[in-house]
Amino acid sequence: MEKPIFDYGVNTTRRHFLSKLSLGLGSAALGSLLIPDLFKGGGGEPDVNELMAGLPHFAPKAKRVIYLFQNGAPSQLDLFDYKPMLNKMHGQDLPESIRGGQRLTGMTANQAKFPLAGSIFNFKQHGKSGAWMSELLPHMAGIADDLCIIKTLNTEAINHDPALTFFQTGAQVGNRPSFGAWLSYGLGSENQNLPGFCVLLSRGKGNGQGVYSKLWTNGFLDSVHQGVQFSSGENPVLYLNDPDGMDRTQRRKMLDNLAELNQGTFNDFGDPEITAKVQQYEMAFRMQTAVPEITDMSKEPESIVKMYGPECLVPGTYAANCLLARKLSEQGVRFVQLYHQGWDSHGGLPTEIKGQCMDVDQASAALVTDLKQRGLLDETLVIWGGEFGRTNYCQGTLTKDNYGRDHHPRAFTVWMAGGGIKPGIVYGETDEFGYNIVKDPVHVHDFHATILNQLGLDHEKLVYKHQGRRYRLTDVAGKLVKGIIA
């Protein structure tokens, strides 16, 4: 009973005390060596906001990222990877030589046969690069000259949770900081009135898989870097407006007083979470004026509505999120992430994927065009893709016009636009079965390294020491994919 009371009385644990002592004394000594008049009195500088700290390591091509994440894994064989061999061998078993012992999910592990399923959709070539795209994506086909289509993404994860976690945090184990959190840590936010990392969710009618806050967590980084999830309803940021009867000056006074109280607690306990909390309150205060301007869709001109499709005015849809993403990015939000659920077509793929594509095709293409016509595409990196691909063999019963596909991590397609990525090319090749990679593989780590490079960060230098080792987004791997960098 004595020790807890003692600890409370001292207001600190042994660890805190010793580390504070040694760091404090040491840094004081060093400081006085480097700065001759350190111990002189004088007006202190105002606290530089943590979020302003970071600078890129070298001149960046892109300043912001919009990541259109297609949750559930869209079928690359029905969208981007044209494999007529599959149509020719429709119904035949997948040769073991091609499969090469790839592990299967629990869903298809008990299947006796793996009949190949050719896509029932027509493919055509588009753009100067002659990129193949199916009839499901007419609008994306229209901007083929702006896209860099990478067909050879690969990952080790075979199920959604580890694969999603891998893509968002750089490791299949959870609780590492997410991409946006690393960027917030490394570069800070451009606009102090908005969070640096925003997450927008939408749901398609297809078979959906969940998304969860682990994917935009700050992990072991400061909680200031956490992604802010916008709600899908009429008010994207809940509880942002002052309650009736309270106006802004009152709010300001309240926050000032609250900050004083919190500062007192911080002086007692030294918990950095307290300062983080104070900063979040301040950010929310600034967001009160900045956000309504952005989320007000009623003033959008008709040309914009036509470009994104009328769905863009219905809050909570993918199109609305794309429009909101453009607006947020335009205002300096560093990383905007969209999740569109419903791509997990284990069965009934033709119907489900049609619905999904109707949801995303026009709006994704519109987003790229919209950024381009504002002169922002060069400094904004737009990414579209899922967490893995789908198999070339059918899951469940295969009929002439209906099939399902299981998860396939070995090769799948992701496209990127803007942000200093080469436009109008197709990178990488898969074999004629669409199963293995033949040329230029791009692993998730390589993908992350390249994106960080475009933002002016050396992926090996953006580290954070935690539990004795220096963590980074690309863990211990990752090579730049030079072939897609313009």
Partner 1 sequence: MSRILSDWKGYVYNIAFFLNGLLVFLLFFESRFAVPQWMQALGRVHPLVLHFPLVVLILYSLWVMIVRKPDSHTWNEGLADSLLVIGTFTAAVAAFSGFVLSHEEGYESDTLLWHKWLGIAISLAAVVWYGARKSLLPWTVGAKVVAGAFLVLLFVGGHLGGNLTHGEDFLISPLGPSAEPVQHVAFEEAKVYEHLVKPVIEQKCLSCHNEEKSKGGLQMQTEALLKKGGKGGKLWDTTKADLGLLISRLHLPLDDKKHMPPRGKVQLTEEEVVLLAAWVKSGSRFDQLVSSLSPQSPVYSYAQNVLGGDRTEEQYAFSAASADEVQKLNTNYRLIKPLSAGSPALFVNFYNRANFKNQDIEGLLPLKDQIVSMDLSKMPVKDEDLKALAKFPELRRLILNFTDITGGNLTELKKLANLRELSLSGTGITMAHVKSLEGFPALRRVYLWSTGISPQDLETLKKGQKIAFETGFRSDTLVMALNPPVITNEKQLIGKGETVAMKHQIAGTVIRYTLDGSEPDSSSSPVYEKPIAINGNLKLKARAFRKGWYGSTQVSKLFFKEGFHVDSAQLITPVDQRYHAKGAASISDGKVGDTERVSGTWLGYVENDFQSYLFFKKPVKASVVTVSTLRSFGSFIFEPTRIEVWGGADPKTLKLLKVISPGVPAKDIPGTENIVYEAGFEPQQLSCIKLVAKPLAKIPAWHAGKGNKGWLFVDEVIVN
Contact between 13 and partner 1 by CB under 8 A: the answer reads no
CB of 485 to partner 1, least distance (A): 7
For residues 22 and 303, which CB has a smaller minimum distance to partner 1 in the complex? Answer: 303
Question: Site mask, partner 1, residues 59-88, x = CB under 8 A?
Answer: xxx---------------------------
For residues 180 and 423, which CB has a smaller minimum distance to partner 1 in the complex? Answer: 423
CB of 248 to partner 1, least distance (A): 12
**With contact defined as beta carbons under 8 Å apart, do 427 and 461 qualify?**
no
| Residue 237: Cβ within 10 Å count | 19
For residues 270 and 332, which CB has a smaller minimum distance to partner 1 in the complex? Answer: 332
Piece of 149-157, 257-265, 292-300, 334-342 that binds partner 1 (CB under 8 A): 292-300
First-last CA distance in the chain: 66
CB of 35 to partner 1, least distance (A): 15
Contact between 289 and partner 1 by CB under 8 A: the answer reads yes
For residues 160 and 372, which CB has a smaller minimum distance to partner 1 in the complex? Answer: 372
Contact between 310 and partner 1 by CB under 8 A: the answer reads yes
Contact between 466 and partner 1 by CB under 8 A: the answer reads no
d(CA 263, CA 439): 57
- Give the per-residue SS3 of the chain: CHHHHHHHHHCCCHHHHHHHHHHHHHHHHHHHHHCCCCCCCCCCCCCCCHHHCCCCCCCCCCCEEEEEEECCCCCHHHCCCCCHHHHHCCCCECCHHHHCCCCCCCCCCCCCCCEECCCCCCEEEECCCCEEEECCCHHHHHCHHHEEEEEEEECCCCCHHHHHHHHHHCCCCCCCCCHHHHHHHHHCCCCCCCCCEEEEEEECCCCCCCCCHHHHCCCCCCHHHCCEEECCCCCCCCCCCCCCCCCHHHHHHHHHHHHHHHHHHHHHHCCHHHHHHHHHHHHHHHHHHHHHHHHCHHHCCHHHHHHHCHHHHCCCCHHHHHHHHHHHHHCCCCEEEEEEECCCCCCCHHHHHHHHHHHHHHHHHHHHHHHHHCCCHHHEEEEEECCCEEEEEECCCCCCCCCCEEEECCCEEEEEEECCECCCEEECEECCCCCCEEECCEEHHHHHHHHHHHCCCCCCCCEEEECCEEEECCCCCCCCCHHHEC
Size of residue set near partner 1 by CB under 8 A: 51
Among 208, 292, 348, 483, binds partner 1 (CB under 8 A): 483
Question: Site mask, partner 1, residues 258-287, x = CB under 8 A?
Answer: ----------------------------x-
CB of 313 to partner 1, least distance (A): 4
Among 158, 425, 451, 462, binds partner 1 (CB under 8 A): 425
Contact between 301 and partner 1 by CB under 8 A: the answer reads yes
Structure-derived torsion over alpha carbons of residues 356, 342, 305, 297, reported in degrees to the nearest 10: 180
Contact between 27 and partner 1 by CB under 8 A: the answer reads no
For residues 58 and 239, which CB has a smaller minimum distance to partner 1 in the complex? Answer: 58
For residues 146 and 406, which CB has a smaller minimum distance to partner 1 in the complex? Answer: 146
For residues 200 and 366, which CB has a smaller minimum distance to partner 1 in the complex? Answer: 366
For residues 94 and 425, which CB has a smaller minimum distance to partner 1 in the complex? Answer: 425
Site for partner 1 in 113-172 (CB under 8 A): 128-129
Site for partner 1 in 325-344 (CB under 8 A): 330-332
Piece of 74-82, 153-161, 289-297, 427-435 that binds partner 1 (CB under 8 A): 289-297
Dihedral pair phi/psi, residue 415, rounded to 5°: -115, 155
Piece of 82-90, 241-249, 272-280, 296-304 that binds partner 1 (CB under 8 A): 296-304
d(CA 40, CA 52): 27
Among 57, 90, 205, 214, binds partner 1 (CB under 8 A): 57
Site for partner 1 in 176-215 (CB under 8 A): 190-193
CB of 56 to partner 1, least distance (A): 4
Please name every residue paired with 405 in a beta bridge, in sequence order, or none if there are none: 394
Conformation bin of residue 205: beta by default, left when phi > 0, alpha when psi is -120 to 50: alpha
Contact between 424 and partner 1 by CB under 8 A: the answer reads yes
For residues 64 and 99, which CB has a smaller minimum distance to partner 1 in the complex? Answer: 64
Piece of 16-24, 240-248, 297-305, 431-439 that binds partner 1 (CB under 8 A): 297-305
| Residue 20: Cβ within 10 Å count | 12
Contact between 411 and partner 1 by CB under 8 A: the answer reads no
Among 264, 314, 355, 466, binds partner 1 (CB under 8 A): 314
Residues lying near partner 1 in the complex (CB under 8 A) are found at: 52, 55-61, 128-129, 190-193, 286, 289-290, 293, 297-298, 301-303, 305-307, 309-311, 313-314, 330-332, 366, 369-370, 372-375, 420, 422-425, 456, 482-483, 485-486
